[in-house]
Structure 1
Amino acid sequence: MLRFFLTRVGLLIPTFIGVSIVAFAFIRLLPGDPIMLLAGERGVDPARYAELQASLGFDKPLPIQYINYLKDILTGDFGTSIVTKRPVLDEFMTLFPATIELALCAIILATLVGIPAGVLAAVKRGTWLDQSVMGTALVGYSMPIFWWGLLLIILFSGILQWTPVSGRISLIYFFPPVTGFMLIDSLLSGQSGAFRSALSHLILPTIVLATIPLAVIARQTRSAMLEVLGEDYVRTARAKGLPPRRVIGLHALRNALIPVITTIGLQVGVLLAGAILTETIFSWPGIGKWMVDSVFKRDYSVVQGGLLLIAGVIMIVNLVVDLLYGLINPRIRH
């Protein structure tokens, strides 16, 4: 198991270097000049321009800039925001809990609904129930996030007035953050109604963000279950007279979970990408909205560092998924 772990960790090194090169190159292809942004509307004279260019390291050749950038990253320095003058890592860590809270709720919802729906569709293959589940999953997968989010806001926030439109909690509640997770902090605050307000603000963004992963997990679960249900050991278990729930839940589902876990792990990248639109629609103060605002403000340090940090999170999640393979199916370790 240790060798398996070290091999997977070793694969992260070239991946991380490749992502850093892409982030470094991408940010320099964006239009605009960060030095002119620093100068503001009044502009800057050539001498001052050269001074700012040297202070940011933009006066050096691109290979030297990249090497210096890589050295800074390895020491934990992801740059400083041009707009707020704060370290990019500090801003990321401040806003990341909001995105994690939203993504965790979304993936939990997608898993709790998607896996049973896929199992049910596989067991009832060819029936109207199977067609209904897969048809709904196809609609959910094809639905644009921004359109789906606006529809839910119009219906539940505008017409029915059941849920808030945006934000993480009502403005009437104020308490210092402890964990960064609003549901937990609202409980710790002891303020009456704070948890309910935080939960109501979380409902619509969670549904919107979970829609596509839910559809993918349901379809993948159905496909994996259909393949496993045709195996000899499942037919043997049925021939022994085992209850259908035991055959499906213990023998079939456990072996079908490996591709499903792969799918769930890959959905982390989808969740972080979808969070950009979801957080923008619902004014959710997470890293998605932070990145969008930084692009519009031409805050190159934030965009560059944010891309690398998000990619690092995705790589760590993929590593965890690989390790789960080895725990569920020991043959994969060999």
Structure 2
Amino acid sequence: MSSVLRILLRRLGISVIVLIGVSMLIFAIARVIPGDPARIALGPNASAEQVANLRAEMHLDESIFAQYGYFVSDVLRGDLGQSLYTNRPVTTDIVQFLPATLELVIFAGILMVGLGLPLGILAARHRGRWPDHVIRVLTLLTVSAPSFVWAVILMLLFAFYLPLFPVAGRLGDSFDIATVTGFLTIDTLIAGNFSAFLDALSHLVLPSVALSLSGIGQAARLTRANMIETYDKPYIEMAQAFGFFPSRIAKRYAFKPSMIPSLTIIGLDFAAMLGNAFLVEAVFAWPGLSRYGVAVILRKDLNAIMGTVLIIALTFLVVNILVDLLIAFLNPRIRHSTRASS
């Protein structure tokens, strides 16, 4: 069995255990939040009999262990229950709202990698000189404030004082695009409407930048530190002694070894954007899963809370598995460990 396959199987096993632990923890926390879900769902004018009937239907009149047993049984059948907030199956809500959040997080991740890594490389190549100092100051600013603070700042600057970008939503009211994938940047291209595509991109700019700024700063600072450590290696000094161009040294000899330790943190930052998206989506009225999650938490919609948390946890685990596989692919010591041991 190859080392990469062993890593995959081990991560899958750990992920199953983590999902079970997360589901138990959130299930218990959701049950101790003040308020009666049945009463909140039916409203203050509902009779005691109506509330009692709904509680029985939701198994709230049974022990928490029995309730968890019902929940696990339903999940194994692919049923996350009915949302009291939308009066629809939770799976239907997730299918509707998840693509918006994934689109936002993916664009933010592209910005994080596309800007953070080059800035870190540039700072390392010019260590101790003005580009390095400027990048270090700017990245320190980006990591010193949470995403929702940057969301408010960007909204004030580029939506109100300088009205360059839309302030809310995913698409202008003048466009009517059929939903195919749920990703508006893709659906607009499928529809052949380039104006709608540009409008969808303009709506993505501010929330994706706000969500990615902290990650850009972390990626740049981490890449800089790893590149500087790599530049001090003997084989880099030998390449410099042979007169290789700095660009060749950076791309061929320093970049790949520096990226291996950085990828883990970048992957964690990418997955953490799902959590940070809660407040960013609220600021920009972005109709995604995070905003939906806030709404169902405030209404103590137990089924929707569990479904939202499980999907976010599952996405987090999938991202980490992919990062581990990428590290194993890039690191020859891991990739060829089985061959060497045999």
Interval of TM-score (by shorter of Structure 1 and Structure 2): over 0.9
- 1:206 corresponding residue in structure 2: 208
Task: Name 2:109's counterpart in structure 1.
Answer: 107
Question: Counterpart of 1:61 in structure 2: which amino acid?
Answer: S
Match of 2:52 in 1: 50
Answering whether residue 19 of structure 2 is matched by residue 19 of structure 1, we say: no
CA positional deviation for 1:28: 1.2
> Which structure 2 residues correspond to residues 108-187 of structure 1 after superposition, within 5 A?
108-187=110-189
Q: Calculate the TM-score normalised by the size of structure 1.
A: 0.95
8 Å CA contact 1:36–1:44 kept in 2: the answer is: no
Q: CA deviation at 1:74?
A: 2.1
Residue of structure 2 in register with 1:8 after alignment: 11
Q: 158-167 or 249-258, which moves further after superposition?
A: 158-167
How far apart, in 1, do the equivalents of 2:50 and 2:181 lie? Answer: 43
Q: Tell me, in whole angstroms, the C-alpha distance in 2 between the residues paired with 1:49 and 1:89.
A: 25
1:153 Cα deviation after fit = 1.7
One-letter amino acid of the counterpart of residue 113, structure 1: L
Deviation at 1:265, TM superposition (A): 0.8
Rate the CA distance shift 1:155–1:3 in 2: closer, same or farther, 3 A.
closer
SS in 2 for 1:190: coil
**Quick one: which of 7, 19, 36 aligns to 1:33?**
36
Contact 1:23 1:308 in 2 (8 A): no
Q: Distance in 1 between matches of 2:124 and 2:241?
A: 20
What is residue 215 of structure 1 aligned with on the other side?
217
Work out whether residues 20 and 308 of structure 1, in 8 Å CA contact, stay in contact via their aligned partners in 2: yes
1:82-101 matches, cutoff 5 A: 82-101=84-103
TM-score by length of 2: 0.93
3-state SS, counterpart of residue 193 of structure 1: helix
Q: Which residue of 2 aligns with 1:294?
A: 296
58-67 or 247-256, which deviates more? 58-67
Displacement, 1:288?
A: 1.1
Judge which range, 163-172 or 182-191, deviates more: 182-191
Residue identity opposite 2:273 in structure 1? L
Give the Cα–Cα distance (whole angstroms) in 1 for the partners of residues 207 and 120 of structure 2.
23
Partners of 1:213 and 1:173 in 2: CA distance: 32
Shift of 1:126: 1.8
Cα deviation for residue 241 of structure 1 reads 2.7
Deviation for aligned residue 1:38: 2.6
Residue ranges of structure 2 left out of the alignment (5+ in a row): 338-342
Cα offset, 1:152, TM superposition = 1.7
- Contact 1:38 1:82 (C-alpha < 8 Å) held by counterparts: yes
Distance 1:253 1:70 in 2: 46
1:268 offset after TM fit, Å?
Answer: 2.4
Q: Which residue of 2 aligns with 1:278?
A: 280
Whole-angstrom CA distance in 2 between matches of 1:27 and 1:330:
45
Give the corresponding residue for 2:340: none
Query: Residue 63 of structure 1 aligns with which residue?
Result: 65
CA RMSD of aligned residues (A): 1.5
Give the match's secondary structure for 1:256: helix
Secondary structure of residue in 2 paired with 1:138? helix
Task: State the distance in 2 between where 1:287 and 1:21 align.
Answer: 21
Measure, in 2, the Cα distance between the counterparts of 1:68 and 1:226: 54
| Distance in 1 between residues matched to 2:51 and 2:202, nearest whole Å | 49
Per-residue displacement from partner, 1:95-118 (whole Å, max 9, x unpaired)? 111111111111111111110111
- Tell me how far apart the structure 2 counterparts of residues 325 and 255 of structure 1 sit (CA, whole Å): 11
TM-superposed CA distance for 1:192, in Å, is 5.7
